[in-house]
Amino acid sequence: MSDYWDMPEQDYELSLLQFATKELAEVGYAVQSEKVEVCSGAGALTLTAILKKKDMAFGLYIHDGPKQRKTRGPPIIWMLRLLPEMKTANDLRNFILAHQHDFSVLLAAENTVLKDRKEAKLKKIYTLLYNSKIKDLYDSDLSSAADVLRKRLRSITEPQDLF
């Protein structure tokens, strides 16, 4: 994963989950905070978010890209436990960057059945997003995929329209 840990250019806020608000609401999830990074070139994507269901908040980590799919298989989609000091997706992302090799162990959910169930639901939602927003880029010219993906995921100007 070291190829993907560089900080991307941040011309504007990016959101992937804005395109799945209906699907997330159907399973009872609300997005509290989201951070999407698209690295240059082929457009490797890293999404970090805090989702809430009723009175339980949890972290979401997704890492995907052409190299991920080619060398390591399907995208990484993990539900993560939040530490008390993690209030935003940026807090979660900073922890992940500081603990690149063991964050999945340090933030592992205690209830593995719940974790597996949530990850299965989130995988279905991400598959929908991948097929509608990303797949065609990874199937074609990878040299400009990052730029096109950034434009597609650019935030809507009205915040209330996002979630």
Three-state secondary structure string covering 120-160: HHHHHHHHHHHHHHHHHHHHCCHHHHHHHHHHHCECCCCHH
Q: Is residue 92 part of a domain?
A: yes
Q: CA 114 to CA 91: how far, in whole Å?
A: 23
Q: Is residue 163 part of a domain?
A: no
Domain range spanning residue 142? 2-153
Q: Is residue 161 part of a domain?
A: no
Q: What is the pLDDT along the chain (163 residues), one digit of tens a residue?
A: 233 344 444 445 789 999 999 999 999 999 999 999 998 888 889 999 999 998 899 999 999 988 888 888 899 999 999 999 999 999 999 999 999 999 999 999 999 999 999 999 999 999 999 999 998 888 887 788 888 888 888 865 444 433 3
CA-based nearest residue to 89, from 17, 6, 4: 17
Q: Is residue 159 part of a domain?
A: no
Helix (H, G, I), strand (E, B) or coil at 48: strand
pTM above 0.95, yes or no: no
